[in-house]
Amino acid sequence: MQNEFLEGNVISSRSIVVDITERKMMEEELRASKENLEKRVEERTSQLQKANEYMKLYRSLFAHDINNIFSNIKLASDLCTLHFDNPIKLNKIKELHHIIEKQIIRGSKLIKNVQQLSLLEDSQFPIEQQNLNQILNASIEFLNNSFPNREIDIETHFIEEKITVNANELLIDVFENLLFNSVIHNELPQIKINIVVSKSEVEFVKFIRIEFKDNGIGITDDRKKSIFKSEKKVDKKERGLGFGLSLVKKIIDSYKGKIWVENRVEGDYAQGSNFIVLIPEAV
């Protein structure tokens, strides 16, 4: 405000009003932009830290499992060399050759799991309607082709001829890993796998329930809760489970589904396992 005086008396007065609304809006926009940027930087930093932790874990797991595979192949190869000149040991050589083939299959599956885990961490796969029947049948066919020397009896029970779920292209990796475990961890002459597909509802959400029941070595009760975690295995009978099941758990979680394992025969884990998967039904 400015005043004009004449002989000590105020004869006029002028006021200057500055509209700072636009400046205030710009300051508010800058403040919000700064907060948003800081939040995005914080989130990205957290993602990178998590990815780095997973990278270290996967590297350790991969080295652990691949070393086991190479050790088994070398041992079988060395034993074959000892028996080459002994015709009586022909059957033994065939058994050792089968061990080598089995380890190669394990190695191939391990590498694929590492690749899929990496993709799952780095990007988002869109959730779309998937034909569960077709994907499961393709997984069964792949399993039989992978183990031509094993007697595998698989029974499937579908509630409908065409069942659709909310999933993505990684669903086949879920089924393949569960089926492979049923074969790899089974020393019986005849491997039996019973797959039952039904419908379920949990907290008003409709799911498709898939059960994989096998007659393998089973999983002890104290391992059931930790079997899906990415950790080193200490039990020789359970080696190789962690990596594949870690992938399975991550994929199912991304679908907002559920997975757990029970005994095939209640109260007796040694009679085999029943892996139960819930995937949201596409309605």
Interval 260-274: pLDDT, tens: 999 999 999 999 999
The rounded percent of the chain whose pLDDT value lies above 70 is 74
| pLDDT at position 41 over 60 | yes
Whole-number pLDDT of residue 51: 55
Worst-scoring range by mean pLDDT, 99-113, 128-142, 233-247? 233-247
Claim: this prediction has a pTM higher than 0.75: no
For residue 203, give the nearest of 263, 249, 258 by alpha carbon.
258
Residue 117 CB burial class (10 angstroms; 0-12, 13-18, ≥19): buried
Longest dimension (CA), the chain: 134
Task: Kindly indicate the confidence band of residue 175, based on its pLDDT and cuts at 50, 70 and 90.
Answer: very high
CATH number of 127-280, picked from 2.40.50.1020, 3.40.50.300, 3.30.565.10, 3.40.50.1000: 3.30.565.10
